[in-house]
Each structure stands twice: as structure tokens, then as C-alpha cells.
Structure 1
Amino acid sequence: MTSVLAADPTAPPYAVAVTWAGQHDAAVLLEGGKKALLAGGADEAFAGVKHSAVFDFDTGKWSDPLPLGTARQSHALTPLAGGKALITGGISAAGGAALATAELYDPAEGKWLPVEKPMKAGRWGHSAVALSNGKVLVAGGSTLRPGGKAMALRSAELFDPDAMTWETAGDMTDARTGHVAVVLSGGKKVLVCGGSVPVGTGDDPALAFCEIYDSTAAAGTNPWTPAATMRFPRSGHTATALSDTTVLVTGGKAPGVTAEGAFDPFARDTTEIFELTGTTGAWRDAEPMPGGRAFHRAVAVGGGRVVVTGGADDVTNEAGYRSVLRYEAGAWKPVAPGLAEGRWGFAAVASGSTVLVVGGIARTGLAAAAQKAELTATAEKFGSGS
């Protein structure tokens, strides 16, 4: 059965055409649930941008520009209490050094403010999530090793928004970049899953390894614990909380020979569910999507439902997908008519059951008129179907 999108699939375009390829938190919902913040990203030359703006779901309009102090892409964006947000790390240009700086968005000031003290390590492709104690856990990512090649990081650190200070948070078991972090247990624990490890060849192997951070771990002990391993290694995937103890993981780019001996040359259609049980948790298979996709977005819309939008295959990435799916009661349903413009590496966020998608890469290679990345500034807002 095909679901139907609500009748308002349009929203005013973003001020700049930008992509957030390589990161999972391009847009965040601010406290109150009615406004979304977007910041940074990369232009067609894959240089970082300073543009930032807030979208109001009630009015359907964008705020005036809220420029960052530093252009950055492959950063992490984290919503905080009081409608504030933290942006950390990233790079300013493709191949550039990892940024250790951070900025704080303050709605009372109506602008981004520099965080005086830098992170203990510059990083891009990392995760950054807010815990129930108010602190932000920053983990993993990439930096440049001597000689200029990228390497993954094991290190993690905590930001205290009240004191505006950083402290170490132990080392993960595995170095990783491009992973996903999901907050569980009322903000006390974090599941980190998948990602990849640069090996110097440009073909970075994906990880199936996962681990759990416990903010209540006793002082002097490592708060990181290896978790159960996913059935498939994944990068370019999504991980979305279905509840305070369950996570749905979808897709990803890691092609190769499957456990059954079949070859997946494009992107994964497989999905898995993590259950936070015992010390390590457990994974179980979920119903596959109708087709594989990577670099897509998945947002929770309440009631254990998840909406998956866009994406591309892993071999060519030539055209972004228009397809929209809804996961509900253990099954996938296509949602018609899909996106007006296919895209991957874009921003997506939900306010209740209303989903906003912004920007991204529409076409590359032979699918693009100039055979280079064609970015879009279009935005689409729609109900998640019924």
C-alpha cells in the first residue's frame, strides 16, 4: 500500500545551494519543536560556507542569515537547552586541516558566538550529541596524519555549555569517522554505530563495530563499552531512535559480498534494529527497504515511525533519489509522490509529523549538465503521510 504526502510539498528555498554530504546532523530541531537550525556545509567547489538560518515551521519562512564566524563543512551540529545550539569542528575546504574551534548559537543574541576554548583535538566527520546532564559528547571523526592523509580518531571529549569548557571523555574501542551516534536511556547512554576507517587508498572500509557510552560510569573507569556488532558494515547509513531503548539502522554505502554470497554493487537495502538489553545490547534483522540507498536521511515522526528520504547509490552517485519511504509497525510503505527534486547529502528534520528537506546534491557525473556536482537550494516541507 502506498501512502500519500500531505498537500504542501513546498517551502521557500535556502539562501545558498549547499550540501552536507558526510554528516548526519545537518539540521537540528531547536527546543520548543517548532524551529529548525541549519548551518555550514559545502558549496559546488566543496569549500565550506558560513551561511546559517532558522526555519519556522509555523510561518513556513526562513530567518535572516545568521553567519558563522568560520566557514565549515563536515562539522557536527547539536541542539542545546534554551533554544541554543553548538557547532563543532569540521574543515573549511576539501583537504584542509581539521578545525578544533566551536561556536554557540544564542537565540537571545540572534547570532553565533565563538567558544573561547578549542576542542582538545581538531576533527571532522565526528558525532556530537547532548546528554541528560547538559553536556555534549563529541566522539571520533577524522584528522590529518603526518604526510597529509586522513586518519580516524578514537578520542572523545565533553563540552560543558555552562562553564564553556572541554574535558576528555575516554577513548572509544575503535577509531571511526562518518559514524552515527544515538542518545538512549533518557540521555544517559549513547550508541555509536558503523562509520569507516581511512586506510590511505581512498576506498575506506566500513565498520560493523558499535559501542556504548555511559555517562553514569564511575569516575576513573572507561565510560566506553563494546556493543553488539551489526550484521553488515555500514557507512553513509542512518540510525534513528524508535524509542528510548531501540534504534533503526538503514542502508549505507558499503558494497561487497553479503553473508549469503550475493553481491551488492550499489547500496544496502538491509535494515537492522538495536535493542538496548544487557551490557552490550543486541541486533536483529528488520524488513529490508524496497531498494538500497546511501547518503539518505531518516527522521523519526513519532509513534515508532520513521520517514526515509532521498539518497543515492554508492557506485556513481549520479542522481539523487526522489523516493520517500515510511517505516511503521515493522514494514516499509512508499510515500507518493515522493520528493519534487531528488537529492543526496542534504538536510532533513521533522517537527512532529512534518518533514523539512533542504539542499543537497541533485546530480553529478553524466547526469549533470556540466558533469560536476549540481547542488540545489530548494526546500520541501510535507506531512509524513497516512
Structure 2
Amino acid sequence: MTAPPHGRATRLAARLADGARGAAPGRWSPAGEMPFAGFWAQPADAAVQLTDGRVLLAGGEDGRRVPTDVTALFEPASGTWTSSGALWTGRRLHSTTLLADGRVLVAGGIGEPPGPVPATGLGSCEVYDPADGTWTATGSLREPRFSHSATLLPDGRVLVAGGAAVRSADSHRTLRSAETYDPGTGTWTQVRPMTDARFGHPAVRFDDGRTLMVGGVLAVGRGSYTALAHCEAYDPVADVWTPTAGLATARKSHQATLLPGNAVLVTGGDMPGFRDDDWTYDPYSQWTTERYDPASDRWTTDGQMPWGRSHHRAVRLASGDVLVLGGTDDASMSVGYPNATLYDAATRKWSPEFPMPRGRWAPAALGLADGRVLVMGGLDESGPAAPLPGEDRVTATAEIYTP
């Protein structure tokens, strides 16, 4: 078996030599400016489409990593943004979940600006009523947390799993705990803990109601973190976690997308370290993908993306294909990528890259009911690439992809 090329130029040339592949790209168009600039790190979705068609975006962080309490609404028909009622607590690294009754639950996160000590997770939660545009406090999490996953279960409860919390005066710990929210009573109930502690992990709900946790991050010391390959599934009826086959490549800051037929596509992510084929050190974000078959409990290598990326977004289209957009490279994390690419779920091939109007990493993105994809905010430039020291450049622009 031939080892993959390791130089970034030779890697790209090898892929381009295959010519055009996969689904045909659509087009991008501006979608106005949000009332605020912000970005939303892994893992949970930051925006939801309400039952009346509007898109709700709440909280997040600015270029100095300060949590925000702002709420914005987007009207897809008119392409206009408006402000809505502010959160009671500004928060970042929280979860945002559309409930079965049309309300929206925001849970946990971080409510304080960065400081010399580890961030403390929030236990507070709020519910948004789209009828009057207001937030109301609801029951608090049994264990404060941030960077957790949140999944709407078939019975209307919300499963929150994993996340991070303070371990000591100079470090974080990774959580195994999980709990469910009952919208009818506004209370949280502890359920069985996961097999493995994790945070920053994507969660995918299968058609049968089970939820798959894919990789993620493990805190291993003072300011030190490692990527995980472990995966597991939760059965809400039996309240049981079952370890599943693991990823071939440990990943964090990746995306996991449910495909037609219950397969799961994993794209990109950070995995700095030595490659297992020839022990070449590779500090870059991953261009490899993997596909999970729950029937056989197997992960298999899938088609390679044209370029590696982390902190990107992957959105399944109405056709079943997957749009992967934006992101950055873990080696520098300095600029947001403007490129996007399409995965053809039938042929398992990727299209050549095509540009968005604006480069961005850690944006919010979701598929609209009309089949288009809305992309919001994100980081333009960070670290040494940012124009102001100590403050990354964050965008308030939005754009729409039309297949």
C-alpha cells in the first residue's frame, strides 16, 4: 500500500490530478450582517431554525474570548437580521437545542472572560420563547459544564453529555457524566455516565434514537489536551452506554455528520503527532475522512478532502450530500479558510474546492428548511495574523449557499 504524500504541495497535487470529482458546487450569496460579531467553538450547534422559519443565534464570544448575551434572528425570506431579547447570562461554549414544542434551550457554557485561572463552567440554563422573544431561567444542570454535547431525544428530552469543568487552580478535568432535561418540568435528571470522559465531541442521533459520541478532547495536565479515538453510543430507552469501534485517527475539532441510511461521516480535526505509516511528524489538521456503519460497527477510510481543516462546519444537504466549509489549520490557527467542498454521499468523492466570499473558522452554520445553508460569523484572523495584539478579528457577516 502506498503511503500518502506528506508535503502539503504534493498532497494537493496528488488530489488535483484526479480531476473534478463528486457533486457539483452551487453558489454563495451575501446574507447581510448580524447585529453582533462572534464565533462559536466546538462542539454543539450555535444556531437553530425555529418552527416559523426564522433562525435564532444566541451567545458566543468576541475577539477577546469574552462571552456575549446577545440574541439575533434571521428571516430567510427577506434576508434581514434583527435583535431579540438578551440572555440573562452571557455565555460561550454552551449548547443550543430546539425543543419539540418550538422553544429553545441554552445550557451551561462559560460566563466569564479569560483569566489566569481555569474557566468555571455554568450550571444555569435558559429557555427562549419565540412567541414573545424572551428568555426565562429554567432548572440548572446537576453538574456545571462547558464544551459538552446536547442532543434532542425522540421522547422530547435533551441529553447533555461530557464537557469540561475545573479540576484545580491550574487545570481542567474532563467529564464522564450525562443528564437529561425534561421540558415539561424544567428539571435535569442524572443518567448513567459515559464509558469515556470527553469534551468538544460531536454527537449524532441515529434514526433508532441512539446517540453516537465521536472522539473529542481529554484534558491530561496543566494546559495540555489530547485527541480521542474512542466512540460510544447511548440508548435512551435502556439508559445504557455501549462502547463502539474507535476511529482510526484520534480527532478533536472535527465534524460528524449523519448520512442517509444512518452512516456517519467524520471530517478533519486536529491530530498533531507522528503518522503510523512511516513515523513522519505531521502538525497539520487532517484531510482524511472516516465513515461509520452502525450495522457492522465499523469505521472505514473514506475519500480524502482536498485539504485538511479543523474548526470547520459540515452540513448535510437535502440531497444527502455534505457541504464542508471554512475552518483553519491547527499548526497556526491564524486565518479562516474561505474554501468549501462537497462530499457526494453516493460516490464517496469530494468536489474541487470553491470559495466563500469570506474566510472564517468556528462559524455557525445550519441547513435551512428550503434546502439552502446559512453560514454566520466566525474568526477571520487570529494570533499573529490579527491586526490588534490580544484581539482576534471576528466577523459579523453572513452568507447563504444555494445548491
- TM-score normalised by structure 2 residue count: 0.89
1:195-247 deviations in whole A, cap 9, x for unaligned?
11111242311000000000121xxxx51111110111000000011135211
1:49-86 deviations in whole A, cap 9, x for unaligned?
00112212222112332311100000011111232111
Cα distance change of structure 1 residues 349 and 248 upon mapping to structure 2, 3 Å threshold: same
Q: What is the distance in 2 between the residues matched to 1:335 and 1:173?
A: 38
Look up the match of 2:150: 128
* 1:358 correspondence with 2:376: yes
Check conservation: 1:89, 1:123, Cα contact below 8 A. Answer: yes
Q: What is the distance in 2 between the residues matched to 1:38 and 1:74?
A: 13
Q: What is the distance in 1 between the residues matched to 2:299 and 2:43?
A: 24
Within the candidate set 14, 18, 23, 2:43 is matched to: 23
Look up the match of 1:247: 264
1:354-374 deviations in whole A, cap 9, x for unaligned?
111111110013322224411
Q: What is the distance in 1 between the residues matched to 2:146 and 2:290?
A: 26
* 1:141 correspondence with 2:166: no
* 1:277 correspondence with 2:299: no
Q: What is the distance in 2 between the residues matched to 1:244 and 1:5?
A: 24
Counterpart of 1:366 in 2: which secondary structure? helix
Within the candidate set 339, 351, 354, 2:356 is matched to: 339
Look up the match of 1:181: 203
Q: What is the distance in 2 between the residues matched to 1:35 and 1:332?
A: 31
* 1:59 correspondence with 2:78: yes
* 1:191 correspondence with 2:212: yes
Q: What is the distance in 1 between the residues matched to 2:168 and 2:388?
A: 35
Look up the match of 2:14: none
Q: What is the distance in 1 between the residues matched to 2:75 and 2:317?
A: 17
1:294-345 deviations in whole A, cap 9, x for unaligned?
0000011122211001000001111110111111121111353x11110101
Q: What is the distance in 1 between the residues matched to 2:383 and 2:91?
A: 25
Check conservation: 1:21, 1:360, Cα contact below 8 A. Answer: no
Q: What is the distance in 2 between the residues matched to 1:198 and 1:50?
A: 28
Q: What is the distance in 1 between the residues matched to 2:328 and 2:90?
A: 26
Once superposed, what is the RMSD of the aligned Cα atoms?
Answer: 1.6
Counterpart of 2:384 in 1: which secondary structure? helix
Q: Post-superposition shift, 1:147?
A: 2.2
Within the candidate set 79, 87, 98, 2:121 is matched to: 98
Q: Post-superposition shift, 1:107?
A: 1.2
Check conservation: 1:138, 1:157, Cα contact below 8 A. Answer: yes
Look up the match of 1:368: 386
Q: What is the distance in 1 between the residues matched to 2:51 and 2:282?
A: 40
Q: What is the distance in 1 between the residues matched to 2:269 and 2:25?
A: 26
Alignment of 1:1-386 (within 5 A): 1=20, 3-6=24-27, 9-31=29-51, 34-93=53-112, 94=114, 95-115=118-138, 117-186=139-208, 188-217=209-238, 222-243=239-260, 245-261=262-278, 262-277=280-295, 281-328=297-344, 329=346, 330-336=348-354, 338-351=355-368, 352-371=370-389, 372-384=391-403
Amino acid paired to 1:70: T
Check conservation: 1:31, 1:80, Cα contact below 8 A. Answer: no
Check conservation: 2:306, 2:353, Cα contact below 8 A. Answer: no
Q: In percent, how many aligned pairs have the same letter?
A: 39
Q: What is the distance in 2 between the residues matched to 1:81 and 1:61?
A: 26
Q: What is the distance in 1 between the residues matched to 2:307 and 2:211?
A: 29
Deviates most, 289-298 or 106-115: 106-115
Check conservation: 1:24, 1:238, Cα contact below 8 A. Answer: no
Stretches of structure 2 that go unaligned for 5 or more consecutive residues are 1-19
- TM-score normalised by structure 1 residue count: 0.93
Amino acid paired to 1:15: P
Q: How many residues align?
A: 373
Q: What is the distance in 1 between the residues matched to 2:235 and 2:366?
A: 26
Amino acid paired to 2:219: P
Q: What is the distance in 2 between the residues matched to 1:68 and 1:51?
A: 6
Counterpart of 1:175 in 2: which secondary structure? coil
Check conservation: 2:328, 2:336, Cα contact below 8 A. Answer: yes
